[in-house]
Amino acid sequence: MTTRKLLLLPGDGIGPEAMAEVEKLIAAINEEAGAGFESERALVGGSAYDAHGAAISDADMTLAMDADAVLFGAVGGPKWDGVPYESRPEAGLLRLRKDMGLFANLRPAICYPALAEASSLKRELVDGLDILILRELTGGVYFGEPKEIIDLGNGQKRGVDTQVYETYEIERIARAAFELARTRRGKVTSMEKRNVMKTGVLWNEVVTAVHGREYPDIALDHMLADAGGMKLVQNPKQFDVIVTDNLFGDMLSDIAAMLTGSLGMLPSASLGAPDEVTGKRRALYEPVHGSAPDIAGQGLANPIAMIASFAMMLRYSFEMVAEADALEAAIAAILDAGTRTGDIMAPGCRQVGTAEMGDAIVAAF
C-alpha cells in the first residue's frame, strides 16, 4: 500500500478545532478506502512562537518540505500582537510559501445551492456557481524591486513599488491554469491591463504562446482586469478558470469570495512547480478564513472551509477525484438537510457546533 505523508499545521485560534474534524475524515478514508494517509501535527504561528520562539521551527519546516502535502489552519490573535516582527504569526505562512516555492494560489468560489441566499448577488446568478481563480503568488508588484519610500527633502516623499514579471513566471502559472481547466470545463480567462502596463502586454503574449504551443484543446479568453472584475459580479457563471497576477488576483479572489456567502466555507490551495523527476508538486492547503479569536475554543467554528481544503488536497495532490467529489457532495448534502453552524445559520435549519458538523459530514461521506 502507498503511504501518503501529511503534515497538519493547525495554528492558532479555531485552527486546531477545525483540524480535528479533518482528522476524523482521514481516519475514515484510511479505513474505508485504504488510503494510507499518515498524518502528524506540528506548530505554526503564535503557538509555535510560544513553544520555539519562531513562527515555525526549522525542524517543522523540514517536515513540511518532506510531506506529500501540508494542511494549514490559521494563525494569529491578540495574544501575539506584541511579538517581534520577524516572529509574528504570519511569518510562519510566508516562510512556508517561500521555501516550498508555492507560486500558484487556487481560490475556488463555489456556491452551494443551500447557501445561495447568503450571497451578495441574486440567487439565480450564483446558485451552483463553481469557478476557480488562479492567482500568481510570488511575483509582481508585492515583491518587485525597487520598493521604497524616498525622502525628496522638500517636505515631499516618493513611494515606489515595482511590478516585474519574467517569461518563466508567466509560463508556469499559465500552464497551471490550462492543466486545471483540463480537469474542469476547459475554459481559461486571463486578466491583465495590457492597455496601460508593460507587464500586462507580456502577460498576454506569454499566456497566448503557451496556449498555442501546448493547450490548443482549451478555450482561452483575454480580459482587461477592470472589465473582468465587473463581469465577475455581473454574471460570474460565465467563467471557469480565471488566471491573473498577484495584485489583481488578491482583489478578484476576495470579490469572488463574497459571491459565495460565508468565509467559513471557502478553501484554498497553493501549489509549487512539478518536481523534475517525480512530477509531484509541493502543495499547501488552507481555509480562506483567519483564526477567528472571537469564537476560538468554544466549539462554534464552521469546519467546512478546512474540510473543503482537504477535499482539494485529495483532488490535486493525490488524484483521488472520486473521493474529493464524494466529500464535496457530502458537504452539499448536509447543507441541504439543514445542518448549520452559527455563521451560516438560517431560519428552519438546525444549529450545531464544530464537532457535530464534522460528524455529520463524516457520516454523509
Task: Please list the active-site residues.
Answer: 142, 193, 226, 250, 254
Beta-carbon contacts of 168 under 8 Å, excluding residues fewer than 6 positions away, are none
Q: Which is nearer to ligand ATP, 199 or 268 (CB)?
A: 268
Whether the Cβ atoms of residue 327 and residue 25 lie closer than 8 Å to each other: yes
Which of 67, 85, 80, 102 has the alpha carbon at shortest distance from 246?
Answer: 102
The interface with ligand ATP within residues 306-345 (CB under 6 A) comprises 343
Q: Are strands 281-287 and 69-74 parallel, antiparallel or unpaired?
A: parallel
CA distance 94 to 206: 28
Residue 295 marked ligand-binding: yes
- Say if residue 87 carries a ligand binding annotation: yes
Residue nearer to ligand ATP on the CB measure, 83 or 201: 83
Contacting residue, 8, 295, 320, 330, with ligand ATP by CB under 6 A: 295
Q: Is 90 annotated as a binding residue?
A: yes
* DSSP state at residue 275: P
Select the binding partner of residue 263 from Mg ion, ligand ATP, none (C-beta < 5 to 8 A, by kind): ligand ATP
Single out the residue of 302, 309, 317, 339 in contact with ligand ATP (rule: CB under 6 A): 302
Among the listed ranges 45-53, 78-86, 206-214, 299-307, the one in contact with ligand ATP (CB under 6 A) is 299-307
42 vs 296 by CB, closer to Mg ion:
296
Our finding on whether 291 is near ligand ATP (CB under 6 A) is yes
290 contacts ligand ATP (rule: CB under 6 A): yes
Residue holding cell 488510503? 35
- Residue 308 vs residues 280, 329, 334, 357: alpha-carbon distances, Å: 21, 11, 13, 13
> Which strand (E) or helix (H) includes residue 74?
strand 69-74
How many C-alpha atoms does 302 have within 13 Å on its Cβ side? 25
* Residues 303, 128: Cα–Cα separation, whole Å: 21
Task: Round to whole Å and give the CA distance between 138 and 168.
Answer: 12
Contact between 260 and 119 under an 8 Å Cβ cutoff? The reply is: yes
Question: Which listed option, ligand ATP, Mg ion, none, makes contact with residue 39 (CB within 5 to 8 Å by class)?
Answer: none
Phi, psi at 56, each rounded to 5°: -155, 135
Residues 117-156 vs ligand ATP: string with x where CB under 6 A?
Answer: ----------------------------------------
Contacts with Mg ion, 273-312, as mask; x by CB under 5 A: -----------------x----------------------
- Binding residues for Mg(2+), by number, are 226, 250, 254
Residue numbers at the binding site for Mg ion (CB under 5 A): 290
Residue numbers at the binding site for ligand ATP (CB under 6 A): 14, 74, 76, 263-264, 289-292, 294-295, 301-302, 305, 343
